[in-house]
A and B are shown apart, each in its own frame.
Chain A
Amino acid sequence: MSAQTPINPDSVNVILATDCGSTTTKAIMIERVDGVYRQTHRGEAPTTVEEPFANVTVGVINALTEIQEVSGRRLIDDDGVIIRPASGDEGCDIYISTSSAGGGLQMMVAGVVREMTAASAKRAALGAGAIVMDTIAANDRRRPHEQIQRIRELRPDMVLISGGTDGGDTKKVTEIAELIAPAKPRPRFGKSYELPIIFAGNTDARPEIDRVFGSGGFDLKITDNLRPSLEREHLGPARDMIHDVFLEHVMAHAPGYDTLMSITDAPIMPTPGAVGDILQTIARGRGINAVGVDIGGATTDVFSVFDGTFNRTVSANLGMSYSISNVCAEATMPSILRWVHIDMNERELRNRVKNKMIRPTTIPQSLEALIFEQAVAREALRLAYLQHKEFATTLKGVQQQRTVGDTFSQESGGETIVDNMKLDLLVASGGVLSHAPRMHQTAMLLIDAFEPEGITELAKDSIFMMPHLGVLSSVHPRAAMEVFERDCLIYLGTCVAPKGSGKPGRPCFSWSLDSGARGSGELAFGEITVVELGEDETAELEAKPARGFDLGAGPGKTVSRTVRGGTVGLILDARGRELSLPEDPEHCRQAVSGVIDAVDLYPEAVPPGEGSAD
C-alpha cells in the first residue's frame, strides 16, 4: 500500500502504530475484536536514529517484530517490509507513527508584543507539538544585539514569525525579521539545510518579509495571520504549516525518516502534538473539559481542553531526574518536605536529589525513596500546572464591554481559562505516575498537585498509548475513541472535593451512593476517605455540601451525578480547596499521616516494586 492513500474505515481490522521516542520505539497493535477495536499487543525496541544504525526504521521494524512474535501474526515480510493489507493471520490495514526522536520538533517563535502576537505564536507552536526554545518580541526587554546573540546561539528546526494585526503594524514585524535574517540561526541538520521560516503575521507586511528573507539561506513559508485582529486567534493554518514543514524539512533530514514517511498511512506527527489531538478528540466527543499531564525526566507537558479551547505547555525545567534539582529550587525544600510524613531532614532530602541527578535512570529501592520521589513529583506537577494556568488565558488586548454594574468588578483580559471546578477528566502519564506501585498513589499525586474541585474523573495512560491514538484519530476516529476508552485509560476512580474552607472537625459534606444502598455518610472538614467502586461500575452520587462549600452547583447546594468507579474507587476529599497544609511541621506531618492512613497509601505489606522510570 502506498503511503497516505484514502482509507475505508469499515474495512480496517488491524492497525499498527509506533511512537519513535528518543530512546525507545514503542509499537502497539489494534485489532477489531467482536466488532470493537481493542489494543491487543505491544512491543518495544531501542530507537535507532543515532549511529551505528542511523536509520529510524530499524528500530520500528524491531518493535513490530516483537509484536509479531508475541501475537503470532506475521507483520513483516522477508524483505523487512510491513505487510499490507491484512489478510488472514498476516499483515495490517493501517500503519501510523509519531516521533519525538532527536529531541522532537524544536522551534523559535517571534512576535511584536510578547503577551499578544508572540503569545499566539507560542500557542500555535506548542499546540503543534514543538518545544519552544525562545520567544523574541519587541518588548522582551532585550537589546537588539542581545536578541541577535540569542538567535545565533539557538539551533531551531524552524522559526515562526507573527506580528501585527491585518492592516496593523508592519514596521516592528519587519524589524524582527531584520533581526533574524542577519543572525542566520544555524539549523541542526547541517549546512545544506535551509532554515524554514513560517510567517503568520500582518498580511500587509508580506512583501517586506519576502524582501528580508529573499536573500537566501531561508525557506520562507507564508500562511494566514494567526491574529488577524486582536479579538480573534486563528491558529489552525499556522499549526498545519508547522506540521507540513516538520514533515518536509525536519523529518526529511533525520536519518531514515524519508523511508518511514513513505510507509505510513498518515503524516508522522510530533509526539506531544498527537497527545494533544487525542485529548481534543476525547473532550469533543464526550463534551467534557479535560487535562492531561506527562511528567518526564527533564520536562513536564500539560495539556488542557476547556470549552473546546486547547492549550499545551512544556515546563522545560520540571522533571523527575535531570531537572529534579530545579524542581527543588523552584518549589523550595520545605514545600517538598511538607508531603513527607516520615522522619526526613533537609540534608537527607538534598542527598537524595543529587543522587537522582547523577543517576537519573535509577528507581526507588526503598519506601523512603519512594515517598521522597512522590513528594517531589507533587511539587513538580503543581508548578507545571501553575505555569499552564498562567499560559492558558483569554486573549489580551481585547476591547471589554461594560455596564454600570461592572463598577466594582472590572475583570481584565488575559485571565486563565483553566477552571478546576469545570474539569471533568484528569489523565496522567509519565514514569512516576504510570509506574507508581499502587494506583492509590497515582490518584493522590494527581489530587494533591492539581487540586480538582467538584466531581472529577481520574485516569492514567496505561502504556503511554495516547500518542499512537492521537495520530490514529486523524485517520480513524472511531477506532481511536474505542481503544482510548477501553484500553488506553485505566480509570482510577472519581474524586469528589468541595471548594471552600472551614475549621477542622466541622461538617463539610454529606453523601450517599445509589440512595444509600451502596453507602452514605458525612465528612468533616479535613477528612478524606475512599469508597469502593470497582472498574466499569457506576453509581448515583448525591452530595450535599455544608454552607460555604461548593461542589459545582453553588455554595451549599446538593449535587446529583452518576460517578464512575475505578481501580481506586470513589475518593471523597473534604480537605477543602485551595488545599492548605498546616505551617507547623509537626501538625503538617500529622495531617499528611492522617491522609495516608485514610487512603492506605503506603501499606507496609506492599513493597515499592517498580518505581518511576523516566
Chain B
Amino acid sequence: MPRIELRNPLAWILGALFAAFACSTSAPASAPPQPPTELSARDKPWDGGGVIFLEWTASTTPLDQLQGYEVLARELGVTAAELADQTERAADAAAERETESLLEGEGIAPEDADQQARLEVRADPVAVPVEQPEWKSIAIVPAGQTDYEATGLEKDRSYEFAIRAIGADKSLSAPSASSPPVVPEAAWFNLSKLPLLVALVLISAAVLVFVVLARGGMVMKIRTIAGLKAVDEAVGRATEMGRSILYINGIQDMDDLQTVAGVTVLGRVAKTAAEYDAKIEVPTSRSLVMTASRETVHASYFSAGRPDAYNPDLIYYVTDEQFGFVAYVSGMMTREKPAACFYMGSFFAESLILAETGNSVGAIQIAGTANPSQLPFFVAACDYTLIGEEFFAASAYLSGQPDQLGSLKGQDVGKILAGLFILVGVVLATIQAISGSTGLEEAVRFLKDVILGS
C-alpha cells in the first residue's frame, strides 16, 4: 500500500474513506473459513478392515460461504510396536557407546561398565526421531455433510485424520485438530450380511427338513413337466417310424451347468431308447461332453439290461466351432430325418436353426435351456420346452429320489421367501410413495439394499 502523509483535514477525511472502502471490499475475500471441530474417527465395525468412519462438527462459517470439506489423512510412519522396537534398539546402541567410554576413561570392569551405562541410559532415555508422513487429501465432501467413510485403507495400520473447510472462494481453513490414531481392523463377522445368513439358514433348514420328510415316506408332489413326460412319446415315435433319435447337449463344455443338466436328461432318454431298442445319436461340440455322454449312455443301456445294444460310435465329437457344428447337425437331420430331436443344454444363435430344421423333417422335438433369449425360439419351433428351472429340476423329477425331491422342495421355500420379500417391498414402496413417510423410506431402502441387495 503506498504511504500517504495526512497533513490537512481533507486529507484525513479522504484517508478515512479510502480505508473504509478498502475494508469493505478486500477483508471478506481474504478471510479463510473456520475449520471444523470435534473430529472423531472410529473403525467401521463388522467389516473386512480398511474402512474408518469419520464425524465432525461443521465449521462455524455460514454454509453459503463454504464449498465443502477436504478430508486429510496420513498413515502414521510407525506403529506402536515398531516405535517400541526402534526405541529399544536405540537404547541398546547408546548403552553400548556409554560402556565403551566408561571403559576407556575410568578403567572399570566391563560388567560394571555395562550395568552403569544401562542405568544411565534408562535415566535419560534416548528420543527416537520418528518421521511422520505428509497429510494427503483423500476426499472432498459437500458443505452440508459432516461425516465420511474413508475406504481403501490398509488393514492394521494406524491413521490420523484432519478436516479442512473449503471456502466459497476456494480458500482453505486451517486443519482441524487431528483425530486420535485409529487402526482399521478386520472383524470376524460382517453383520451387514446378517439377512443373507438368516436366509441361508432358513433355506438350508427347509432343504434338510424336506429331505428328511421325503426319506420318511412323505409324498413330494411335483408339477408334471410336459417335456419330460413326452420323452416316452418321442422315443416311441422313433421306434414306430424306424428312425433314429437325435440328442444335442448344447454347445458349451462340461463346466457349464446346463451341459451337466443336459447330460442328466440324456441318461433318461438313452434308457428309454434302450428299452424300446431305438437308435440314439449324440453329436457333440466338445470332446469332454462326448466322453461324459458316452459314459452316461453306457450306464443307461446297462441299467436297461441292454449293454449289448450300446454303440459308442453313435456318440461322437464334431467340432468346437459353433456354426461348423450347426451345419453338420442340420445336414445330418435333413439326410437321416430323425423322428425325435432333443436339444438340452446351453444354446445361442443356433437354437432356431436346429429347431426349424427338426420341425421341417417332421420330428417330435423337446428342448431345454436356461438361456432366456433362446426360449422363445424353442417354444415356437419345438413340441415341448423345459424352461429354465424346469430344466435343472429335471434330474430330481426323473430320478424320484427322496434326497433330490426334498432338495427341490426346500429350494422352493427359498423362492417363496424371495417372492414374499419382493411383494412386501413393492407394497411398502407404493405406500411410501403415496404417503412420503421417511420411516417407510428407510424400510424400503433396507429391503432393497440390505436384504435383496445382499
B230 touching A164, Cβ below 8 Å: no
Looking at the complex, which one of A172, A227, A411 makes contact with B239 (CB distance below 8 Å)? A172
Question: How far is A139 from B375 in the complex, measured between Cα atoms in Å?
Answer: 33
A402 touching B380, Cβ below 8 Å: yes
B379 touching A397, Cβ below 8 Å: no
A399 touching B383, Cβ below 8 Å: yes
Question: How far is A172 from B382 in the complex, measured between Cα atoms in Å?
Answer: 28
B241 touching A165, Cβ below 8 Å: yes
Give A409 Cβ to nearest chain B Cβ, in Å: 9
Given contact pairs A399-B362, A412-B384, A112 touches B379 in the complex (Cβ within 8 A): no
Chain B residues near A135: list those with CB within 8 A: none
Chain B residues near A169: list those with CB within 8 A: 239-242
Looking at the complex, which one of A172, A408, A411, A414 makes contact with B277 (CB distance below 8 Å)? A172
Question: How far is A397 from B232 in the complex, measured between Cα atoms in Å?
Answer: 9
Give A112 Cβ to nearest chain B Cβ, in Å: 6
Give B40 Cβ to nearest chain A Cβ, in Å: 57
When each residue 530-571 of chain A gets 1 if its CB lies under 8 Å from chain B and 0 otherwise, what string results?
000000000000000000000000000000000000000000
Interface residues of A in 149-175 (CB under 8 A from B): 163-165, 168-172
A164 touching B240, Cβ below 8 Å: yes
Question: How far is A540 from B380 in the complex, measured between Cα atoms in Å?
Answer: 46
Given contact pairs A139-B276, A402-B382, A410-B384, A113 touches B239 in the complex (Cβ within 8 A): yes
Interface residues of chain B: helix, strand, loop or mixed (majority): helix
A141 and chain B: residue at smallest CB distance: B275
Looking at the complex, which one of A117, A139, A170 makes contact with B242 (CB distance below 8 Å)? A170
* A138: interface (CB < 8 Å): yes
A407 touching B237, Cβ below 8 Å: no
Question: How far is A168 from B376 in the complex, measured between Cα atoms in Å?
Answer: 32
Chain B residues near A116: list those with CB within 8 A: 236-237, 240
* B226: interface (CB < 8 Å): yes
Question: How far is A230 from B382 in the complex, measured between Cα atoms in Å?
Answer: 17
* A476: interface (CB < 8 Å): no
Chain B residues near A171: list those with CB within 8 A: 242
Question: How far is A138 from B275 in the complex, measured between Cα atoms in Å?
Answer: 8
Chain B residues near A399: list those with CB within 8 A: 362-364, 383
* A5: interface (CB < 8 Å): no
Interface residues of A in 413-456 (CB under 8 A from B): 413-414
Question: How far is A261 from B349 in the complex, measured between Cα atoms in Å?
Answer: 69
* A11: interface (CB < 8 Å): no
Give A349 Cβ to nearest chain B Cβ, in Å: 28
Question: How far is A14 from B380 in the complex, measured between Cα atoms in Å?
Answer: 62
B387 touching A407, Cβ below 8 Å: yes
* B293: interface (CB < 8 Å): no
* A78: interface (CB < 8 Å): no
Interface residues of A in 169-196 (CB under 8 A from B): 169-172
B376 and chain A: residue at smallest CB distance: A404
A143 and chain B: residue at smallest CB distance: B305
B241 touching A168, Cβ below 8 Å: yes
B227 touching A413, Cβ below 8 Å: no
Looking at B227, B230, B240, the one whose CB has the most chain A CB atoms below 10 A away is B240
Given contact pairs A411-B226, A412-B233, A113 touches B379 in the complex (Cβ within 8 A): no
Looking at B242, B243, B362, the one whose CB has the most chain A CB atoms below 10 A away is B242
* B193: interface (CB < 8 Å): no
Given contact pairs A412-B229, A413-B230, A112 touches B383 in the complex (Cβ within 8 A): no
Question: How far is A218 from B240 in the complex, measured between Cα atoms in Å?
Answer: 25
* A396: interface (CB < 8 Å): yes
Chain A residues near B236: list those with CB within 8 A: 113, 115-116, 139, 396-397
* A8: interface (CB < 8 Å): no
Give B336 Cβ to nearest chain A Cβ, in Å: 14
B276 touching A406, Cβ below 8 Å: no
When each residue 101-139 of chain B gets 1 if its CB lies under 8 Å from chain A and 0 otherwise, what string results?
000000000000000000000000000000000000000
Looking at the complex, which one of B240, B275, B381 makes contact with A227 (CB distance below 8 Å)? B240
Count residues on chain B whose CB falls below 8 Å from chain A CBs.
30
Looking at the complex, which one of A113, A404, A413 makes contact with B240 (CB distance below 8 Å)? A113
* B385: interface (CB < 8 Å): yes
Give A591 Cβ to nearest chain B Cβ, in Å: 27
B241 touching A115, Cβ below 8 Å: no
Question: How far is A115 from B239 in the complex, measured between Cα atoms in Å?
Answer: 12
Give A473 Cβ to nearest chain B Cβ, in Å: 35
Question: How far is A168 from B337 in the complex, measured between Cα atoms in Å?
Answer: 12
B340 and chain A: residue at smallest CB distance: A397
Question: How far is A403 from B383 in the complex, measured between Cα atoms in Å?
Answer: 10
When each residue 355-396 of chain B gets 1 if its CB lies under 8 Å from chain A and 0 otherwise, what string results?
000000011100000000001100111111101000000000
Question: How far is A451 from B389 in the complex, measured between Cα atoms in Å?
Answer: 37
A117 touching B240, Cβ below 8 Å: yes
* A351: interface (CB < 8 Å): no
B233 touching A413, Cβ below 8 Å: yes
* A2: interface (CB < 8 Å): no
Chain B residues near A113: list those with CB within 8 A: 236, 239-240, 276
Question: How far is A113 from B233 in the complex, measured between Cα atoms in Å?
Answer: 9
B239 touching A138, Cβ below 8 Å: yes
Give B305 Cβ to nearest chain A Cβ, in Å: 9
B379 touching A406, Cβ below 8 Å: yes
Chain B residues near A215: list those with CB within 8 A: none
Looking at A169, A171, A403, A410, the one whose CB has the most chain B CB atoms below 10 A away is A410
Interface residues of A in 280-334 (CB under 8 A from B): none
Question: How far is A413 from B384 in the complex, measured between Cα atoms in Å?
Answer: 11
Given contact pairs A138-B276, A402-B382, A230 touches B239 in the complex (Cβ within 8 A): no
B382 and chain A: residue at smallest CB distance: A402
Question: How far is A116 from B232 in the complex, measured between Cα atoms in Å?
Answer: 11
B275 touching A139, Cβ below 8 Å: yes
B242 touching A412, Cβ below 8 Å: no
A402 touching B240, Cβ below 8 Å: no
Question: How far is A546 from B237 in the complex, measured between Cα atoms in Å?
Answer: 45
Chain A residues near B230: list those with CB within 8 A: 412-413
Give B84 Cβ to nearest chain A Cβ, in Å: 71
Give A520 Cβ to nearest chain B Cβ, in Å: 43
When each residue 209-232 of chain B gets 1 if its CB lies under 8 Å from chain A and 0 otherwise, what string results?
000000000000000001101101
B227 touching A410, Cβ below 8 Å: yes
Chain A residues near B243: list those with CB within 8 A: 168
When each residue 425-439 of chain B gets 1 if its CB lies under 8 Å from chain A and 0 otherwise, what string results?
000000000000000
Chain A residues near B240: list those with CB within 8 A: 112-113, 116-117, 163-165, 168-169, 227, 230, 397
Interface residues of B in 222-277 (CB under 8 A from A): 226-227, 229-230, 232-234, 236-237, 239-243, 275-277
Chain A residues near B232: list those with CB within 8 A: 115
Give B35 Cβ to nearest chain A Cβ, in Å: 65
B272 and chain A: residue at smallest CB distance: A139
Chain B residues near A139: list those with CB within 8 A: 236, 239, 275-276
B277 touching A138, Cβ below 8 Å: yes
Question: How far is A406 from B375 in the complex, measured between Cα atoms in Å?
Answer: 12
Chain B residues near A138: list those with CB within 8 A: 239, 276-277
Question: How far is A404 from B236 in the complex, measured between Cα atoms in Å?
Answer: 26
A400 touching B242, Cβ below 8 Å: no
B379 touching A230, Cβ below 8 Å: no
Looking at the complex, which one of B364, B375, B382, B387 makes contact with A397 (CB distance below 8 Å)? B364
Given A113-B239, A138-B276, A412-B384, list of 12 further CB < 8 A pairs?
A113-B236, A139-B276, A168-B243, A169-B239, A397-B236, A397-B237, A402-B383, A404-B380, A407-B379, A407-B387, A408-B387, A411-B226
Question: Can you give 26 A-B contacts (C-beta < 8 A)?
Answer: A115-B232, A115-B233, A115-B236, A139-B236, A139-B239, A168-B242, A169-B240, A170-B242, A171-B242, A172-B239, A230-B241, A397-B240, A399-B362, A400-B384, A402-B381, A402-B383, A403-B379, A403-B380, A404-B376, A407-B375, A407-B379, A407-B385, A408-B387, A410-B227, A411-B226, A413-B233
Contacts from B to A (Cβ < 8 Å): 226-227, 229-230, 232-234, 236-237, 239-243, 275-277, 362-364, 375-376, 379-385, 387
Please provide the 5 A-B residue pairs with the shortest distance between their CB atoms, ordered closest to farther.
A169-B242, A397-B237, A113-B236, A168-B241, A400-B383
Contacts from A to B (Cβ < 8 Å): 112-113, 115-117, 138-139, 141, 163-165, 168-172, 227, 230, 396-397, 399-400, 402-404, 406-408, 410-414
